[in-house]
Chain A
């Protein structure tokens, strides 16, 4: 935890999206996973982030009236 190579928790929370997106360089990914293996707080943080993404995925979009779209389609169809 005290080597200069080691990642601090404060840095890890800023790298978490790059990690989840697979956008970290191999070297940084290893550093991050080494840190996770030893740090309960950051492991919980990662788990919270995954759950956040999952919960966000459960939302649905608002519905809006499709005004004028049917007419648009019919007019286009007639002109073809």
Chain B
């Protein structure tokens, strides 16, 4: 149980807020640089055009500045900023009278998306049903480190993420690219723990699959 009055924001956040309150422009621009891209992408999930999304981000930053005195560190600063962004985007989206309810934005597709294709497993009736067939995942340890960490491998990761449905894409970006905790993502996006985890699972599974295909192909060539 978390006490609602507990300060959970890291001390860095509190210092930043102090700096902003004192009118430190550099501190503000650093935040804009750090969170601007993710804020714009998220805003675009709620409104129709990039121009409107940019407007939403601008309005959200103003909301952040105006609300600074009310920030008490009950969440991390970034969670607080993104909640303001999401609320601003929702309000704007509603004004645009979107037909899709926002709650469904973050609901995983009810269609099952298996992490691994069914044909990689032994069929029912086999001696070991649902266990790997020949060609079970092989370790990537044999892949030389310079290849594994090469720009080309990272390009594949980036491409795989770009190709994800928007809700999976934004969750994996916040969690694994930006390194947020599951609680921060849940609170910032106002989604359930379960939806957050299902979206993350599907996203990670697809990125792994893309990487395995790429690294396997590379290892065969050499």
Contact = CB atoms under 8 A, between A and B. Distances in A.
A47 B139 contact: yes
A66 B153 contact: no
A37 interface: no
Nearest to A23: B197
Contacts of A64: 36-37, 40
B178 to A, nearest CB: 7
A57 B177 contact: yes
Given A17-B204, A59-B158, A64-B36, A72 B61 contact: yes
Interface of A is mostly: helix
B87 interface: no
B65 to A, nearest CB: 5
Nearest to B121: A10
B183 to A, nearest CB: 11
A61 B177 contact: yes
Interface residues of A, number: 46
Nearest to B40: A64
A51 B200 CA distance: 15
B150 to A, nearest CB: 10
A80 to B, nearest CB: 8
A69 B61 contact: yes
Contacts of A60: 177
A51 B149 contact: no
Contacts of B201: 14, 16-18
Nearest to A2: B128
- B interface, size bucket: 35 or more
B207 to A, nearest CB: 5
B116 A56 contact: no
A62 B130 contact: no
A56 B207 contact: yes
A77 interface: yes
B211 A55 contact: yes
Interface string B21-51: 0010100110011001110100000000000
Interface string A9-25: 11101101110010100
Given A39-B132, A40-B136, A72-B61, 4 more contacts: A9-B136, A52-B211, A57-B177, A72-B58
10 contacts: A8-B131, A13-B115, A21-B182, A45-B137, A58-B154, A61-B177, A69-B32, A69-B61, A72-B61, A76-B66
Interface of B: 23, 25, 28-29, 32-33, 36-38, 40, 54, 58, 61-62, 65-66, 114-116, 118, 121, 128-132, 136-141, 148-149, 153-154, 157-158, 161, 172-173, 176-179, 182, 193, 197, 200-201, 204-205, 207-208, 211-212
- Closest CB pairs A-B (n = 9): A41-B136, A8-B130, A17-B201, A10-B130, A56-B176, A41-B132, A44-B137, A52-B208, A45-B137
